[in-house]
Amino acid sequence: MAMMRMAGVARREDFTLDVELDVAPGEVVAILGPNGSGKTTLINTIAGLGGLAEGTLTGPNAVAVESDSVWDAPGERRWVTPRDRHVGLVLANALLFPHLTCRDNVAFGPRSRGAARSAARDRAADELAAVGLADRSGARPAQLSTGQAQRVALARALATSPGVLLLDEPLSALDPETRGTTRVALARRLADFAGSTVLVTHDPLDALTLADRLVFLDSGQIVQTGTPAEVVSRPRNPYVARVVGLNLWRVRRTSDHTVAPLDTDVSIQVAELPDSSDLWLTVRPSAVALWPQEPHGSPRNAWQLEVASVELAGQSARVSLTGQLDLVAEVTAAAVAELGLAQGRLVWATVKATEAAAYEA
């Protein structure tokens, strides 16, 4: 099966998307970015719901899946309709036909492409079994949970054997418990899908657990790409750092073991520094210790900061701090109570030099 390739510019009103993106057969690529970064424009362009202004977009040929076909090439006045692009699309809303059973919903795609009724229903049965819903084939959408409906939508998208599967926030409408079980079912099904998958999501857990590669968009441009492990270890954009849960600063080297965030005079001690003057510096929130008074002892970095917000998640809390530098700490729920952490509270934050990781920008 052929690779999907997009290298071009798409314009929507006053927004411009300019990307180069390749997705190999069998690969799952997650697209992340803040609101307005271009994620929906990218999905719609690949699906053929909007054309390119410049460049080319190629995908698996609907007739001979082994070869590439040009889907969009404005310079050649070439544009292939969504129906003929060999693409499956799953949205946050399952959008199932309410009057049809699950089996007939899934069979709709093959039937619309000319398959015989019996063959389409057999394919639908296979796809429903693949997502764990063989026993719900006769149910109508109103009889399904939201998670089951989303799995039916996935089965429907795959029933036409698409070369490219587009998932646009497919789990965003689900409650946390349903989201977890549906994510597991989705991961299992994608592992057996031979085509290229593009997953748009705001959820870091979806991206980190489902994708082989992460692509981050900001203002219509790709700002970082890499495997989940590469991105988690070395983010190169503030949004990327927030997604993977790290403190990140662009810093300049000031001595053999000292750096300073740009546009500040804050000094940060680092155990090891690469031989470069332009660097990124990360600190894990769990490596930040909080104290009611100025501490004494081994930490080389200490700043008095103000609590901006506290977000509890089970037995842990993320504490956003502001002052000489912005910093996020991760502490226990018990520490929140013991330290009286609340908005406006002044505390001391410390970071050991060995916990600050620097790498070339």
DSSP secondary structure, 176-187, as one string: HHHHHHHHHHHH
Q: Is residue 239 a part of any domain in this protein?
A: no
Tally of residues, the chain: 361
Q: Is residue 243 a part of any domain in this protein?
A: no
Give the pLDDT of residue 140: 97
Say yes or no: 47 and 190 in one domain. yes
Which CATH number belongs to the domain containing residue 260 in this structure?
2.40.50.100
Which CATH number belongs to the domain containing residue 193 in this structure?
3.40.50.300
Say yes or no: 36 and 180 in one domain. yes
Say yes or no: 164 and 97 in one domain. yes
- Pairing assessment for the beta strands 346-351 and 4-12 based on DSSP bridges: unpaired
Give the pLDDT of residue 144: 94
DSSP character at residue 339: H
Say yes or no: 21 and 114 in one domain. yes
d(CA 57, CA 201): 22
Q: Which of 182, 199, 233 is the last residue of a domain?
A: 233
Q: Which of 200, 233, 266 is the last residue of a domain?
A: 233
Tokens representing 244 are 């993977």
Give the pLDDT of residue 63: 56
Q: Is residue 240 a part of any domain in this protein?
A: no
DSSP assignment of 214-253 equals: EEEEETTEEEEEE-HHHHHH---SHHHHHHHT-EEEEEEE
- pTM for this predicted structure: 0.87
Say yes or no: 103 and 220 in one domain. yes
Q: Where are the alpha helices (DSSP H) in the chain?
A: 39-47, 102-112, 117-130, 146-158, 176-191, 204-210, 228-233, 238-244, 333-339
Phi, psi of 117 (to 5 degrees): -55, -45
- Domain count across the chain: 2
DSSP assignment of 342-355 equals: -TT-EEEEEE-GGG
DSSP character at residue 170: T
Say yes or no: 124 and 171 in one domain. yes
Q: Which domain holds residue 351?
A: 248-360
Say yes or no: 149 and 35 in one domain. yes
Give the pLDDT of residue 89: 95
Per-block average pLDDT, block size 10, for the chain (361 residues)? 91 95 96 94 96 94 67 93 92 94 96 92 95 94 94 94 94 86 90 94 92 96 95 92 93 93 92 91 95 81 95 92 95 94 95 94 87
Q: Is residue 242 a part of any domain in this protein?
A: no
- Helix, strand, or coil (residue 260): strand
Q: H helices then E strands: how many in the chain?
A: 9, 21
- Pairing assessment for the beta strands 327-332 and 316-322 based on DSSP bridges: antiparallel
Tokens representing 340 are 């009286």
Nearest to 15 by CA among 191, 159, 221, 200: 221
d(CA 219, CA 261): 24
Q: Which of 203, 233, 263 is the last residue of a domain?
A: 233
Give the pLDDT of residue 113: 87
Say yes or no: 145 and 111 in one domain. yes
